Structure 1
Amino acid sequence: MNGSSDLLCCSDRLCCEAHSDNKVIQEQGDVIAAEGDTVTLDCKYETTSAFPYLFWYKQDVNDYPKYVLRRDASGTENAQEFPKDRFDAELNKTSVSLKIQKLQLSDSAVYYCALRPTVTGNSKTLYKNLWSKDNRILHNIH
């Protein structure tokens, strides 16, 4: 750190519910920290699965979410660009908080927690056709 007062803002406010049995809750809101600091972003979850898979994603402004890491009972995985010595998470029975160490300005982003089923590590464009009941294309989404 060069003595400047650069700040890092991380927003992790999100609550998603895919099925009534599975829920991810991020209530913390914005986090403000200085370059070089360590922050922890909270993520609570509820699931009926005995072996849940939890994921963290990072979304920069005007960009798609990027896969950061996965935690489950059988092991851990970090994406190559998010090394475990800076990006880590510990899976507990009801939470999987993300710990980011040695903060850099490039860490400023929105961070999402997700509970399996989800898609990881695919940065290709999604193409989907929406069909009507009589098999006519209604929309082609890119």
Structure 2
Amino acid sequence: MEPWLRNLLILAAFCYECRGEDSVTQPPGDVIATEGEQVTLDCQFDTLDTSPYLFWYKQGANDFPKYMLRRVTFGSDNAIEFQRRFDAHLNLTTFKSASKSVPLTIQRLQLSDSAVYYCALKPTVTGNSETLYKNL
């Protein structure tokens, strides 16, 4: 094997483990819809993790964020109060430049759905990892 090729392969092996920062992007601004309609809230994310965990949270006025649902490559989970009208699909691609998303769809909108909705990529907070995901 040529010496320069051996150096190239070693460099590639080290770069495989190099990781950039994970990111989540939601479009700014309000979404306005009428009761009874269906609405989809967008969430784009970027991660090198091949099995990412994506979460949606709902925060009403003067309230704390409430866990709604979780999506992973091979599974999903909805909190009890968000099982009927709320859904999200994890869209992954094999191309690094293509976008990854987990749009949240709310069916048959109700006035009580008015809130701020957050999309998050695991880990959602920092702290003691032993207790952090205890309820998952």
TM-score normalized by structure 1? 0.68
Structure exhibiting the larger radius of gyration computed from Cα positions = 2
RMSD: 1.8
Tell me how far 1:48 sits from its aligned partner: 1.0
Structure with the higher fraction of residues in strand conformation: 1
Aligned residue in 2 for 1:71: 71
1:88 is matched with 87
Report the CA distance shift for 1:99/1:78 in structure 2 as closer, same or farther (over 3 A): same
Distance, in Å, in 1 between the alignment partners of 2:119 and 2:34 is: 23
Counterpart residue identity of residue 54, structure 1: L
Q: CA deviation at 1:21?
A: 2.0
Aligned length in residues: 103
2:100 maps to 1:101 = no
Contact 2:90–2:102 (8 Å) recurs in 1: yes
Greater relative contact order, per chain length (Cα 8 Å cut-off, separation 6+): 2
Mapped contact 1:88–1:99 kept (Cα < 8 A)? yes
- d(CA) in 2 for partners of 1:58, 1:75: 21
- Whole-Å separation in 1 of the counterparts to 2:104 and 2:75: 16
Instruction: Say whether 1:54 aligns with 2:54.
Output: yes
- Which amino acid in structure 1 is aligned with residue 67 of structure 2? Y
